[in-house]
Amino acid sequence: MMTDIEQLAEMAQQLGCKVFRNEPLNEHTTFKIGGPCTLMIVPNNEISLSALVRFSSEKGLRTLVMGKGSNMLYADEGFKGVVFLFDNTMDMGRIEQIDDRTIRAYAGASLMSVCRKALELSLSGLEFAYGIPGTVGGGVYMNAGAYNGEVKDVVSSVTAMDRRGNLRTYNDSRLGFTYRGSRFNHTDEMIISADFTLTPGDKTEIEAKMKDLIGRRKDKQPLEFPNAGSTFKRPEGQFAGKLIQDCGLRGCTIGGAQVSEKHCGFVINTGGATCSDVRGLIDHIQHTVQDNTGFELECEVRIIPYE
């Protein structure tokens, strides 16, 4: 008799989805860390996803949604359960123009590609996100932001799927955006798509701003090493990177994990870092900064346990 996981895998294949068993998660995260997941499914559209989600819920299977894995740290043992991977190879990554000010992007589309679409349409407002390495789903989930801009500034509505496979659309007043957070941090819904309402602008000026911001990222951030972006949320009235630097932690290393010498707000994988290395370094940074400054640094990276 097939297990529930095996039945789900067979169902996904019959629906035309990509299916991977014991897929290494370090190949799907920007940290390049994490053991295998029991099952990974790349949904081809919302209809297939709805059936798979409903079956998973009925059987009580542990599930997780991810995009580019740019803000995730998986356990060295991996993930015991089902990972739904939203990427840009299927319908879950499409981008559509709704009207002369609105772009609808599905959860698997990269924020970079949405920015390029906005540029193509001479729409301004998304320039801040050019260079953020995540997907639309992840960007909405954590209200991604940079350079004085946040997702909440440009998202007018989000469509999500509940664990019964039903779709529901929320307008901006019901999205519960906070600093690096949204309503979806507190529900079991999966983000399906987001509508970005932007402002008509000058294409040359939009492109110039995008190039300026991505140039600043390359100059200031350790993009040459695997990392998960800013490791800590910005504490009120301060900058995490400056606090870490002032505590003498620049270059501090545990195993293959290191406080970046280029930007102390980033923990990087210098090669062969494990989840244990990164977590150990995060704990050391938090304790050192609190002991020396009184500030409590809150980790921005999602740490996903094995089970």
198 lies in a domain?
yes
The pLDDT of residue 89: 75
**Whether residue 283 sits in one domain with residue 259:** yes
pLDDT tens by residue, 229-244: 999 999 999 999 999 9
Instruction: Output the six-digit token pair for 43.
Output: 């949904």
Distance CA 178, CA 233 (A): 12
**Region for residue 147 given its phi and psi (left: phi exceeds 0; alpha: psi -120 to 50; beta: otherwise):** left
Q: What confidence score (pLDDT) does residue 72 get?
A: 97
Residues 203 and 154 in one domain: yes
Gap between the Cα atoms of 76 and 291, Å rounded: 29
pLDDT digits 0-9 by tens, 89-120? 778 999 999 999 999 999 999 999 999 999 99
Predicted pLDDT at 1: 77
| Residue 228 domain flag | no
231 located within any domain: no
Say if residue 213 is in the same domain as residue 155: yes
pLDDT for 173 equals 87
DSSP character for 276? H
Using CA atoms, how far apart are residues 165 and 43, in angstroms rounded to an integer? Answer: 13
Please name the residue that has the structure tokens 């290395």: 277
- 134 close to 144: Cβ distance less than 8 angstroms: yes
Same domain, 120 and 211: yes
Q: How many domains does the chain have?
A: 3
User: Residue 107 is part of a domain; what is its CATH number?
Assistant: 3.30.465.10
Question: What is the b/e burial string over 146-165, where b = at least 16 CB atoms within 10 angstroms of the residue's CB?
Answer: bbebbbbbbbebbbbbbeeb
- Catalytic: 180? yes
Asked whether residue 108 falls in the same domain as residue 79, the answer is: no
Q: What are the helix (H) ranges across the chain?
A: 4-14, 46-58, 111-120, 136-141, 203-220, 240-246, 275-293
Q: Which amino acid is at 153?
A: D
Q: Which of 62, 85, 108 is the last residue of a domain?
A: 85
Can you list the residues of the chain whose pLDDT is less than 50?
A: none
Q: What is the pLDDT of residue 87?
A: 87
178 shares a domain with 65:
no
Please give the structure tokens belonging to residue 295. Answer: 């500030």
| Distant-in-sequence, close-in-space partners of 163: CB < 8 Å, separation ≥ 6 | 53, 54, 56, 57, 188, 189
Assigned domain for 189 exists:
yes
Q: Which residue has the tokens 């997780």?
A: 64
- Clarify whether 300 is annotated catalytic: yes
Residue 103 in domain: yes
Q: Which of these is catalytic: 48, 182, 230, 260? A: 230
Identified catalytic residue from 116, 217, 300, 302:
300
- Pair (216, 131) in one structural domain: yes
- In the chain, DSSP assigns E strands to 18-24, 36-42, 63-66, 72-74, 79-85, 95-97, 102-106, 123-124, 145-146, 149-150, 155-161, 167-171, 190-197, 199-200, 253-254, 257-259, 267-269, 302-304
Q: Any bridge partners for residue 259, and if so which? A: 267
- Domain contains 181: yes
Dihedral of alpha carbons 22, 23, 29, 31, sign: positive
Instruction: Look at residues 238, 242, 218, 228 and name the one whose alpha carbon lies nearest to residue 278.
Output: 228
- Would residue 195 count as lying in a domain? yes
> 48, 127, 180, 189: which is the annotated catalytic residue?
180
Residue 283 CB neighbour total at 10 angstroms: 12
Domain assignment present for residue 155? The answer is yes
136 contacts 114 by C-beta, under 8 angstroms? yes
Range of the domain at 261: 240-304
Collect all residues with Cβ–Cβ distance below 8 Å to 168 and sequence separation of at least 6: 159, 160, 161, 162, 189
10 is catalytic: no
Please report, as a single letter, which amino acid is at residue 3: T
**Same domain, yes or no: 196 and 99:** yes
Co-location of 109 and 183 in the same domain: yes
Same domain assignment for residues 63 and 11: yes
Bridge-based pairing of strands 79-85 and 36-42 is parallel
Residue 218 φ then ψ, to 5°: -65, -35
Choosing from 51, 67, 85, the residue where a domain stops is 85
Same domain flag for 210 and 114? yes
Domain termination residue (choose one: 189, 220, 251): 220
Q: How far is CA 109 from the centre of its chain?
A: 11
Domain match, 176 and 128 both: yes
CATH number at residue 28: 3.30.43.10
